[in-house]
Amino acid sequence: MNSTHDITRSPMKWILATLVMVGAAVSATPVQAGAVMYRSVEIDGQTIAYREAGPANAPTLLLLHGFPTSSHMFRNLMPALADRFHLVAPDYPGYGNSSMPSVDEFDYTFDNLASIMDKFTVKLGLKRYSLYLMDYGAPIGFRMAAKHPERIEALIIQNGNAYVEGIDNDFWEPIKEYWKDRAAVNKGLDNPWWQNVKKAYGKTSMTNDEALRFLITLGATQWQYTNGVRDKETISPDNWHVAQRLLDRPGNDAIQLQLFYDYGSNPPLYPEWQAYFREHQPPTLIVWGAKDEIFPAAGASPYKRDLKNLEFHLLDTGHFALEEDGDIIADEIREFLTPAKKKTS
């Protein structure tokens, strides 16, 4: 009797054997250079999703996203830099693939988001890192840097504000009034920017809450991605559809309005952050979309007052500068974060 067992006669054994062989082949295959991993950790009872790429022993760059996006905004930058850097891009609670507790279940403040991100870096063992700060990422990251300056190797600032000049424009007028009174009616809404919004709604007067809800509509999300760009046809509609699907989740509107309100906690901290710049002088790269109407170039120039080791670039694009000038920004980061001895070698 032949002792050799023909596994093709036992379909289940054949399937299992095939899976084992496939698994062995996959496990033996190294991760491709530039591959991005999608992971999560638990912080204070919340699932924090994050993207990670590059060697863990390389210099770390922590990428902090803006509104209304998530780590999705770094989807192209990460593989572009992963050959030389360790890149980590988390989603805040309420954004991307992280937990989305309601406003009654979670303290949606910039203080708390910074605390969560600080604990996130500890959980991942990130002892020293550079920060990429964009939009909401700036007040979160500057809180982290001012609290733990010894952890910060460098700053990369892209349309992220730390000076009153950066919010001295029409866009911010009703938001500033909202900080004073969440029940405000038609306060700061009579400038040209917001008159266009009222006209679109067919109203001569609106509550500030109602007006700010425009900022979480599909039209406003698309505008954030396309306003100020050189060629709108180069900007993928996937951007605003991905972001909008998450904004449209039940309860997410309350989260965004709460953070619009709590953004008012940031300007009082500007002097503290500026003092951090002056005292610790972190090497800083500014790559700023100059045609951004939310954080215009007026907010970029003041950094020159406080930072000595500064590289400054205004780019001919809008708010989400990575979408149109991602290659330029990647090249600037690569050059900026490479030690001088390597640059000249």
In 3D, which of 51, 38, 48, 68 has the Cα closest to residue 243? 68
d(CA 160, CA 317): 15
Lowest mean pLDDT among 296-305, 309-318, 336-345: 336-345
- Name the pLDDT band for 32 (thresholds 50, 70, 90): low
Mean pLDDT of the chain: 91
Per-residue model confidence as pLDDT tens digits over 119-143: 999 999 999 999 999 999 999 999 9
Q: What is the average pLDDT across 313-321?
A: 98
- Name the pLDDT band for 34 (thresholds 50, 70, 90): confident
Helices (H), the chain: 11-27, 77-81, 110-123, 137-147, 173-180, 192-201, 208-212, 218-226, 238-247, 252-262, 270-280, 303-306, 321-337, 340-343
Residue of higher predicted confidence among 4 and 139 = 139
The domains located in the chain, with CATH, are 36-167+217-340 (3.40.50.1820)
Provide the whole-model pTM: 0.89
Pairing verdict, β 129-133 and 86-90:
unpaired
Catalytic residues: 319
179 pLDDT above the threshold of 60: yes
Per-residue model confidence as pLDDT tens digits over 140-174: 999 999 999 999 999 999 999 999 999 999 999 99
pLDDT of residue 339: 74
Per-residue model confidence as pLDDT tens digits over 41-73: 999 999 999 999 999 999 999 999 999 999 999
pLDDT of residue 210: 97
Per-residue model confidence as pLDDT tens digits over 65-111: 999 999 999 999 999 999 999 999 999 999 999 999 999 999 999 99
Per-residue model confidence as pLDDT tens digits over 216-251: 999 999 999 999 999 999 999 999 999 999 999 999
pLDDT of residue 19: 39
Sorted by sequence, the CB contacts under 8 Å of residue 148 that are 6+ apart come out as 118
How many other β-carbons are positioned within 10 Å of the β-carbon of residue 154?
A: 18
In 3D, which of 305, 309, 302, 306 has the Cα closest to residue 284? 309
Tally of residues, the chain: 345
Q: What is the average pLDDT across 276-286?
A: 98
In 3D, which of 61, 95, 96 has the Cα closest to residue 80? 61
pLDDT of residue 16: 40
342 pLDDT above the threshold of 70: no
Residue of higher predicted confidence among 19 and 284 = 284
Per-residue model confidence as pLDDT tens digits over 181-213: 999 999 999 999 999 999 999 999 999 999 999
d(CA 29, CA 338): 30
Q: Look up residue 208 and give its two tokens.
A: 């500030």
Distances (CA, A) of 82 to 53, 74, 229: 6, 12, 27
